[in-house]
Structure 1
Amino acid sequence: MIAAFFAPIAGEAGLGLRDDAALLNAPQGRGLILTKDLLVAGVHFFENDLPGAIARKALRVNLSDLAAKGAAPLGFLLGLALPPDWTPDWLKAFAADLAADAQDFGCPLLGGDTVKTPGPLTLSITAFGAAPAQGMVRRDAALTGDALYVSGTVGDAALGLRLRLNREEDRGWIGALGAENAAFLADRYLLPRPRLALIDALGDHARAAMDVSDGLAGDLTKMLALAGLTADVALADLPLSQAARAALEAQPALIETICCGGDDYEILCAAAPEKALALEAGAKAAGIKLTRIGQARRGAVTPIFRNAKGEVLRFERASFSHF
């Protein structure tokens, strides 16, 4: 199995997957950043998702963490627990798309482990990256007065998940989307876009950053609370896609899903006021949309989200949690 499916896509540091370990040399003078995500069928993806899509999501959610640290990918380890119904054709398709993403993002396979399990398909990836020359962009380093930004658009993946679940209470707004918007939201849930193009701008200009995996409201709370900070966010300032706006117009209550749903894998960051314009320019040069959503201020309360009337929104659950 290793020789047929994974050795052909291993990087040089993986030693052809002929050993029990890899030999990775970090760039001289730069720290080594490590991150790990675990994905389980029925929790993080649908069991009937295509094998290639599962492989790409597993790698990309880790690459998103590296991007938020300003880290250039160096490689990854793969843990794969296969249920009894796996087939060589399934694994071939899984490995093919994993190889394509590994090449496209410059993050080769270095090794790992493959086992059987009586339970659902489970994947674990540990990714390695080289820290920026200035040091890793930490999550807890924001200061009072910092400008707050988020990349791309938010809420699309959470709406895409609700679309995939197709529950009775959602069929009204789903029916109002149109085919193009529905396809866009479904794809945003299925296939994250790690913002690796931002790593230079983040390394040079951001003070703090993390990726938005559990919902903007909750992740903003996490990042700012570590520094004893809070913020005021106007809903009008949130970057929304055409599809999310269409869904929100059909069902205004979806604003909670947009603000609190997971799987965006966008970058949330803070920059000192004197570096804000340089960060914006760096993002623009990289071809990544970066939207300013507020300013950090001293406070122990959770960030406040206000509607167009200035009213404070009360979210039942600001962030996704497994427990």
Structure 2
Amino acid sequence: MFQPRLTQLGMALAITVSATATQAADFPTRDIRVIVPWGAGGGTDGIVRKITNIAEESLPVSTYVENIEGGMSATGLLQLMKARPDGHTLGALTYDSVVTVPWQGMLPGYSLDQLKLVARITSEPDAVIVPDDSEYQTIQGLIDAAKSAPGEIRVGLQNMGSRTHLTLLQLQDEAGVEFKVIAYPGGAAPQKEALLNGEVDFVVTSLGDFAPLIEAGDARGLVEFSDQQNEAFPNVPPATEAGLELQMGSFIVLAVPARTPDEAVETLESAYKEAYESEAFQEWLPKVGVAPSWLGSEEVTQWAEETQETLFATMDELAEQGLLEK
């Protein structure tokens, strides 16, 4: 029997919606892929692998982490955006994914609206790190030296325009100094090599990134841009204790494609929260110098929007001053 085209379309839509609802109710039905948009062996990679391995115990399927480097996380973000929105592809967002990439327009069409945020699991302030044999014993000592020799003290950053670059610009502005900037794209590994072989006098990144070198006695932190003492590094004072107001750092947020069913998001959030609260994760995380910092899906979405608004305004102002290129 002939049916009007609209009726046929309506039936097709109903079948699609029904199938999607059934898939969401059965989620997960196959292995879950977790995209880390940075290289293997870095701080983000290690943390995501640790919590994912624990979360897998609460899921009826296996999980696997895939490193997709490039474009300050833009390459991995593109794959996350294009993934089937069924909850079986999850991605790890860091500062650059939330702030740098959208502000600089590095990935056309990308915004947080293209994703659903599942949870925030860590907060990791930036820090100033020097070789263990450095003449600088305190951040004030480094600032005083920079005032005596403007533009001569060398600092290693991961990328121009990145979070660490913004941290440095704000430090220079607050302290009234200028450093010689040398960029080392590709994460913390090139920074470590540059610091150890004497190419730079200090680096700006997280203490967690340099935890092995600090523990081995090859490097030490002068200050962490936070208002709280990092228990894993009791000899590194927070910025507020060192007389600085600057607070800046990264984080790890888990996300899925925007049209992922809420039921799948809830399942993932529950599994990762259980993993986050586990004794294994809570005891391990401070050992790598990172603070646990949970926000669920609803809370992290609001936090991310507010973070973007604040930092975009700061970056626009620095761009107007010619200190940052957009």
Q: Provide TM-score, normalisation by structure 1.
A: 0.29
Larger Rg: 2
